[in-house]
Amino acid sequence: MAYNILIVDDSAIVRAVIKKTLTLAGIDVGELLEAGNGKEGLAALEENWVDLVLADINMPEMNGIEMVEQMSENGLMETTPVIIISTEGSQTRVEELKAKGVRAYIRKPFTPELVKEVIDQVLGADNE
């Protein structure tokens, strides 16, 4: 099954690296959407069917935490899993994000194998 994935990161280079990593990891991607901050990410979610959000924390205008909080208020966290991909990785921050409904946390730098493992766990693909 091909997944529609939204990558939310203010760095175009990081978004490109994540796209390449998805390919190397063998993730079956349908449509790949990109957003430069949480506000753009929310707009993309309103306009498109998205199976998975990969988001950074630190971004201008609206950060990843604010985006997750907005998704919670809109009921999107129940239907659209979010995986945070960030350099920021304190245990307190990870627990705070998971309490808000984030399904998983990947710390930069990452490998295609780790990304595949986490995405398979979150989307239930490891049960196939």
- For residue 71, the domain's CATH number is 3.40.50.2300
**What is the three-state SS of the chain?**
CCEEEEEECCCHHHHHHHHHHHHHCCCCEEEEEEECCHHHHHHHHHHCCCCEEEECCCCCCCCHHHHHHHHHHCCHHHHCCEEEEECCCCHHHHHHHHHCCCCEEEECCCCHHHHHHHHHHHHCHHHC
Q: What is the pLDDT of residues 83-120, one digit of tens each?
A: 999 998 788 988 999 999 999 999 999 999 999 999 99
The domain in which residue 67 lies consists of 3-127
Give the count of domains, the chain.
1
pLDDT digits (tens, 9 = 90+) for 15-55: 999 999 999 999 999 999 999 999 999 999 999 999 999 99
